[in-house]
């Protein structure tokens, strides 16, 4: 079939004129040549002389900053990457040193130890055993006082490598010894180890230690320290284990004690008669509320120490001067918190460290021999596999 009016010879399909064909135009195509470049271009502006001088001195200032003493650093183990200032003597402040709130939470538990002979393996076991037995890990704080000739920074970072999420503070003993020296000039020489008297000096030097648990640095804590948070220390600021295997009369000369009660006019001398069969406090584990601690407690201990003067007859964790100074002034801790040996480990919540450890002899750190002793294996349960590699580095 053909279209009307179309060509009968075709197949009947018509073609439309394409729309993109432009109509013929007589105008010439646009030129693609670039405009010529003229040689009369303006020269670059010259900087002012004052700005050049200022820039020169600014560069010198920035370069000189590289030679200044650093004031802050970052702890590589800190997940928050906080800037931590150096202290006034140029030493590194530990991140935990910055956590000194004016008021301590009732859930916080501060573990404090005085170290006469630094050995990191017992400290690692102490930290790990406490953490393993605790439920509130974010409320645990560890404070270790080590001899001043030991490297505080190295000790701190070794422990932080093993326990990156624990709050650990490493401090020297110099400030405590100086504070003790201002109270009694011969106090340091009177005590073969300041471990016994240190817990009564620490609150005066470090007031941020509001409530703390004082333990030796070579123990294994199997009990949950949160159990001790419920002990009321408002009326009596010290809690200790009562040892009835030793009586007050077997520990001190009662004639001297009664004579001092008649003659001495000291506020810490009891106005009531001392009982001869009274139990004495075991100072191996102490719980102290520094806010309620008597201001003259340290002075009274040093005074009683001079009165009795029987330092050679002391029993471990039972000091005559401390026993009389704390007479009827402490709260009784449960007996399960008494430090026990390995063979009594069933019910005890604190054991002696039973591994290989250093034993330093000599009060002066310059004249000292070191021996090693150990016989058990409980400590291995709380010693990390990578502990030897890090501690021996």
Q: With 50 as the cut, is the pLDDT of residue 157 above it?
A: yes
Contact 192, 311 (CB under 8 A): yes
CA distance 307 to 227: 37
In angstroms, the CA 162 to CA 155 distance is: 11
pLDDT at 345: 59
- Closest by CA position to 115, among listed 193, 202, 187: 193
Tokens of 37: 């470049």
| Cα Rg, the chain, nearest whole Å | 39
The least confident of 218-227, 306-315, 374-383 is 306-315
Q: How many helices (H) and strands (E) in the chain?
A: 11, 14
Token pair of 140 as six digits: 């645990």
Instruction: Note the pLDDT of residue 99.
Output: 42
372, 127, 393, 71 alpha-carbon torsion, rounded to 10° = -130
Q: What are the φ/ψ torsions at residue 232 (nearest 5 degrees)? A: -80, 120
What is the pLDDT confidence band of residue 362, given thresholds at 50, 70 and 90?
Answer: low
What's the rounded mean pLDDT across residues 357-379?
62
Per the CB < 8 A criterion, the answer to whether 199 and 319 are in contact is no
Please, which pLDDT band fits residue 137 given cuts at 50, 70 and 90? confident
Whole-number Å distance between alpha carbons of 108 and 112: 13
Residue 327 region, left (φ>0) first, then alpha (ψ -120 to 50), else beta? beta
Which is it for the CA torsion 129, 130, 136, 138, positive or negative?
A: negative
The answer for 339, left when phi > 0, alpha when psi is -120 to 50, beta otherwise, is: beta
Q: Using alpha carbons, list the distances in angstroms from residue 235 to 37, 102, 206.
A: 97, 21, 22
State the chain's mean pLDDT as an integer. Answer: 78
Quick one: average pLDDT of 101-105? 47
Q: By the 8 A CB rule, do 157 and 133 touch? A: no
| pLDDT, average across residues 159-170 | 92
pLDDT at 8: 45
Beta pairing class for 219-221 and 211-214: unpaired
Task: Read off the pLDDT of residues 193-221 as tens digits, 9 standing for 90 and up.
Answer: 688 889 999 988 998 888 999 999 999 99
Cα–Cα distance measured from residue 381 to residue 385, given in angstroms and rounded to the nearest whole number: 10
Name the DSSP class of 92: B
Express as a percent the part of the chain with pLDDT over 90: 30
Does the pLDDT value for residue 267 go beyond 80? yes
Q: Which parts of 224-277 fold into alpha helices (H)?
A: 248-251, 254-263
More confident residue, 257 or 34: 257
C-beta separation of 215 from 264 below 8 A: no
Write down the pLDDT at residue 97: 45
pLDDT band with cut points at 50, 70 and 90 for residue 4: very low
The band of 145, judged by pLDDT with boundaries at 50, 70 and 90, is very high
pLDDT value at residue 65: 82
Are β-strands 369-373 and 357-361 bridged in parallel, bridged antiparallel, or unpaired?
antiparallel
Contact 109, 229 (CB under 8 A): yes
Supply the pTM of this predicted model.
0.70
Q: Has residue 388 got a pLDDT over 70?
A: yes
């Amino acid at each position: 079939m053909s279209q009307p009016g179309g060509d009968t010879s075709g197949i009947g399909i018509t073609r439309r004129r394409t729309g993109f064909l432009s109509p013929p135009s007589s105008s010439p195509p646009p030129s693609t040549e670039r405009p010529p470049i003229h040689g009369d271009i303006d020269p670059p502006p010259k900087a002012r002389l004052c700005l050049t001088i200022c820039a020169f001195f600014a560069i010198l200032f920035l370069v000189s900053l590289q030679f200044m003493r650093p004031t802050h650093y970052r702890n590589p183990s800190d997940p928050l990457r906080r800037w931590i200032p150096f202290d006034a003597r140029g030493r590194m402040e530990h991140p935990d040193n910055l956590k000194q709130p004016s008021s301590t939470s009732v859930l916080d538990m501060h573990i404090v130890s005085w170290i006469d002979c630094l050995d990191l393996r017992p400290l690692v076991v102490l930290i790990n055993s406490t953490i393993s037995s605790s439920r509130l890990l974010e409320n645990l704080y560890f404070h270790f006082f080590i001899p001043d000739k030991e490297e505080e920074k190295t000790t701190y970072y070794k422990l932080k490598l093993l326990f990156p999420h624990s709050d650990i503070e490493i401090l020297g003993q110099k400030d405590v010894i100086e504070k003790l020296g201002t109270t009694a000039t011969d106090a340091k020489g009177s005590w073969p180890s300041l471990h016994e008297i240190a817990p009564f000096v620490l609150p005066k030097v470090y007031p941020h230690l509001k409530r703390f648990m004082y333990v030796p640095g070579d123990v294994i804590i199997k009990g949950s320290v949160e159990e001790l948070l419920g002990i009321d220390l408002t009326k009596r600021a010290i809690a200790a284990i009562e040892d009835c295997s030793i009586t007050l009369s077997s520990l001190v000369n009662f004639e001297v004690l009664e004579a001092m009660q008649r003659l001495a006019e000291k506020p810490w001398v009891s106005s009531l008669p001392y009982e001869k069969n009274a139990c004495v406090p075991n100072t191996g584990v102490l719980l102290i509320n520094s806010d309620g601690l008597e201001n003259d407690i340290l002075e009274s201990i040093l005074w009683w120490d001079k009165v009795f003067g029987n330092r050679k007859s002391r029993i471990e964790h039972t000091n005559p001067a401390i026993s009389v100074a704390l007479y009827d002034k402490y709260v009784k801790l449960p007996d399960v918190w008494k430090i026990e040996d390995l063979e009594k480990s069933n019910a005890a919540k604190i054991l002696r460290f039973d591994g290989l450890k250093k034993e330093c002899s000599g009060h002066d750190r310059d004249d000292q021999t070191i021996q090693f002793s150990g016989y058990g294996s409980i400590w291995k349960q709380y010693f990390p596999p990578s502990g030897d590699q890090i501690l021996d580095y």
